[in-house]
Amino acid sequence: MQLKTQVGIIGAGPAGLTLSLLLAKFGIESIIIENRSRAYVEARVRAGLLEQNTVDLFKDMGVGERMECEGAEHHGVYLNFDGVRHRVPFKELTGGRCITIYGQQEVVKDLIEARLAQGGEFFFEASAKSIEGIEGNSPEIHFEQNGEKHNILCDFVAGCDGYHGISRQTLPKDSYNEFHIEYPFSWLGILAHAAPSSDELIYSYHQRGFALSSLRSETVSRLYIQVPNDDKIENWTDEQIWDELEIRLSNGSDFKVNRGEIFEKSITPMRSFMIDNMQHGRLFLAGDAAHIVPPTGGKGLNLAVADIRFMAAAFKEFYTNGQEHLLESYSQDCLRRIWRAQDFSNFMTTLFHKQSEHGSFEYQLQKAKFDYIGISEAYKTTIAENYVGLKEI
Ligand code: FAS
Ligand code: PHB
């Protein structure tokens, strides 16, 4: 089947979905190709932390109603190091900004529902196989669905297809430099029918490894522990996971982790990755297709949405008055925030993960940073404004 649209979007994750809704707001047509089913993408457990900018954008777009009702607004975060705890407040240090805890799968559900309600055109279980003609004015997406071949003639292609997608592979290899860190540890993450163990998130350095206490609702907890890269889910019983979380999250008080049925477990490797050019001709990349941050900073989803704000504004300028200034500056406009998020995510990851022996020079540097958080409002402010997301950058 030969299809035609203004912007062909590959990927129905936070990037592709936000783009399709913003383009519709500007009267710009798009089609989304997604190689998984709707049920799969709506059930895929990933991020959970929304920056202030992301919350504000979703509200402006009119897709924030359930997020406001079911999401949890947090005004601070607890940071532990070897049993000592500091709290970093947000509102006082950032002029009232904060974070909202709301599962990525809920975001995806809300965005898909909103786009379908507008009559948005989706092809689920449709896999983009190639993108042709990006150096001309009518690039083409070739995709397959149910064994049939189709293509979409577009003005532009938005590569929102994540780290393993085809978009980045379509950029000429000499059009970008690649930056990569593979951390020597992974996260074992669980979702459990258990009330959160704390009123705010807890990031904790412990001699046995990092742990993070987060949540999805008043009855569902989201928690993580640092594990070796070659660890396997089957190496852990539920009881061992709960025991390890309780040890690592304790701040020396009588801290108890609330236990319950674990209904989702996964191990995710930690990596920092990015390319320093996100466009070529009529192909523009956004989100994980162009960059990956370790989730310690809670930035992945928020960076994807931040890229899309720039991409949507650039397409709006093009279709409204034929100008291409924002299209030309798209990558540079995105990279300022991406590098800031890479730095903050790397800071949080190297500060709170066990990477060397107790008492080593590296350990002492980690402890010195943590102790400085405890005595410096300036350092707490730096952490707070990066964590809730800088308003402009
Ligand atoms: P996504 O990967 O969300 O979406 C890309 C979409 O493109 C997918 O639905 C995929 O199926 C589709 N696609 C790929 N190739 C295609 C093709 N050829 N044709 C058609 N469709 C194609 N971030 C945080 O902030 N905190 C976290 O705790 C966190 N945990 C994570 C855990 C895991 C296991 C992973 C993988 C990521 C995690 N992230 C986390 C990061 C995550 O939230 C991403 O940053 C976010 O999903 C980025 O959104 P997109 O760029 O839209 O990419
Ligand atoms: C989550 O709730 O999944 C979450 C929160 C904060 C992070 C990472 C993940 O830094």
- 277-314 confidence digits (pLDDT tens): 999 999 999 999 999 999 999 999 999 999 999 999 99
Which of the four CATH numbers 3.50.50.60, 1.10.10.410, 3.30.365.10, 3.40.1350.10 does domain 2-74+99-179+272-346 have? 3.50.50.60
Q: What is the DSSP string of 88-111?
A: EESHHHHTS--EEE--HHHHHHHH
pLDDT tens for 232-268 read 999 999 999 999 999 999 987 788 999 999 999 999 9
pLDDT class of 393 with cuts at 50, 70, 90: confident
Ligand 2 center–CA 296 separation, angstroms? 7
| 30 φ/ψ sector (left φ>0, alpha ψ -120 to 50, else beta) | beta
Residue recorded with tokens 């709301």: 102
**CB distance 295 to ligand 1 below 6 Å:** yes
The reported pLDDT for the residue numbered 385 is 98
How many angstroms is it from 288 CA to the middle of ligand 1?
Answer: 6
pLDDT tens, residue by residue, 100-138: 999 999 999 999 999 999 999 999 999 999 999 999 999
Q: Which residues contact 100 (CB under 8 A, 6 or more apart)?
A: 49, 50, 55, 67, 71, 72, 73, 74
Rounded average pLDDT over 89-102: 97
pLDDT digits (tens, 9 = 90+) for 48-87: 999 999 999 999 999 999 999 999 999 999 999 999 999 9
Q: Are 78 and 198 in contact (CB under 8 A)?
A: yes
Q: Give the span between the Cα atoms of 215 and 49, in whole angstroms.
A: 10
| Residue 387 is a catalytic residue | yes
pLDDT reported for residue 160: 98
What's residue 53's pLDDT?
98
Whether 4 is a known active-site residue: answer: no
Query: What's the start-to-end Cα distance of the chain, in Å?
Result: 43
Catalytic residue (choose from 102, 176, 203, 330) = 203
Q: Hey, whose CA ends up nearest to atom 32 of ligand 1?
A: 46
Phi then psi for 309, rounded to 5 degrees? Answer: -60, -40
Please give all residues whose beta carbon lies within 6 A of any atom in ligand 2, as ranges.
47-49, 101, 201, 214, 222, 295-298
203 is catalytic: yes
Atom of ligand 1 nearest to the CA of 268: 34
Other Cβ atoms less than 10 A from the Cβ of 197: the count is 19
Read off the pTM.
Answer: 0.96
Measure the CA–CA gap between 37 and 158, rounded to whole angstroms.
Answer: 20
- Ligand 1 center to 272 CA (angstroms): 14
**What distance in Å separates the CA atoms of residue 314 and residue 325, rounded to the nearest whole number?**
8
Q: What is the pLDDT of residue 369?
A: 98
For ligand 1, atom 15, which residue shows the shortest CA distance? 165
Cβ-contact 171, 286 below 8 angstroms:
no
pLDDT digits (tens, 9 = 90+) for 3-39: 999 999 999 999 999 999 999 999 999 999 999 999 9
The pLDDT assigned to 253 comes to 74
Closest CA to 212 of 377, 49, 36, 321: 49
Q: According to the model, what pLDDT value does residue 57 have?
A: 98
Distance 301 CA to ligand 2 centre (A): 10
pLDDT, residue 50, reads: 98
- For 177-230, how does the pLDDT look when each residue is reduced to its tens digit (9 = 90+)? 999 999 999 999 999 999 999 999 999 999 999 999 999 999 999 999 999 999
For the Cβ of 42 lying below 6 angstroms from any atom of ligand 1, the answer is: no
Q: To which CATH superfamily is domain 184-270+354-388 assigned?
A: D-Amino Acid Oxidase, subunit A, domain 2 (3.30.9.10)
Domain coordinates in residue numbering, the chain: 2-74+99-179+272-346, 184-270+354-388
Query: Residue 374 pLDDT > 80, yes or no?
Result: yes
Q: Nearest bound ligand to CA 270?
A: 1
30's enclosing H/E stretch is: strand 30-33
Q: Strands 140-145 and 148-153: what pairing?
A: antiparallel
Residue 61 is predicted with a pLDDT of: 97
